[in-house]
Amino acid sequence: MKTLTTLSCTFLILLSSFVSAESAQDDSEPKLKGDKVITLISDQSLKGWQVPSSRWSIKDGVITGDTKGEKLQTPEWIYTTAKFADFVFSADVRLSGGPRANSGIYFRVKPFTFKRGKPGTRYEAPSGYEFDAGLASRHNGSLGDWYARPSLRISADQKVMEKVFKAQDWNRMTIRAKGNRIEYWMNGTKIIDYTDNDPKRSKEGLIGIQMHDQLEMKVEIRNALLIPLVDDQG
């Protein structure tokens, strides 16, 4: 007969295993498959996207934003025409065109008129979250809402980023946004898990890709997929 002590130890071991399994599952990159998946990029058309300039193009299912050797005075974004609230999103992103190429995936975006330092400098910018991507950037992999809430900057562990991020190559960037919890994965490794309790947080909006100002760069994005989440999905 098992003693109470033995049973208690067995229960604790099983509970510990369960918690560990749950934690591991929680850190696993969500997979986008099934009939609810929305494909955001077609093979040869920018239909479904708000295109800000001729610097953006598409070929063979890859959207490209290229400064073409110039340095933009203000950044620009290409946005989806559709809005999303809770979802899982994943896309392959590649940065090139300069040693400091910098971009980001923006989501739950509501564009607004942003006023920058110099008097008279205004441009349309996103309020909403960013999944930052940059070559030689200490903010690579970070979460922020730079234009609307500049104090919000949650950094990824750069030692982890050095291992998982592939400079000037394709990187899979995955986001799960559900309620006030935001999670990021880079090439399958979880790098951000943040709960945003700010009542001013963005809850719904567009998805966008940035072309940064003041540097030469090119950003490419492919395989952009999204699954809307409902209450019984995580």
| pTM across the whole model | 0.87
Q: What is the pLDDT of residues 106-154, one digit of tens each?
A: 999 999 999 877 667 899 999 999 999 999 999 999 999 999 999 999 9
Indicate if the pLDDT at residue 4 is higher than 60.
Answer: no
Quick one: average pLDDT of 26-43?
Answer: 94
Cα separation, 165 vs 138, in Å, equals 13
Tell me the CA end-to-end span of the chain in Å, nearest whole number: 42
| Separation of CA 208 from chain center | 10
Q: Give the right CATH number for 33-228 from 2.60.120.560, 2.20.25.90, 3.40.50.1370, 3.30.70.360.
A: 2.60.120.560
**Beta bridge partner(s), residue 130:** 106, 144
Cα separation, 78 vs 58, in Å, equals 12
Task: Classify residue 167 by burial, with Cβ atoms within 10 Å: 0-12, 13-18, 19+.
Answer: middle
Cα separation, 22 vs 36, in Å, equals 25
Q: What is the pLDDT of residues 74-110, one digit of tens each?
A: 999 999 999 999 999 999 999 999 999 999 999 999 9
Percent of the chain with pLDDT over 70: 86
R_g of the chain, CA atoms, integer Å: 20
Q: What is the pLDDT of residues 159-205, one digit of tens each?
A: 999 999 999 999 999 999 999 999 999 999 999 999 999 999 999 99
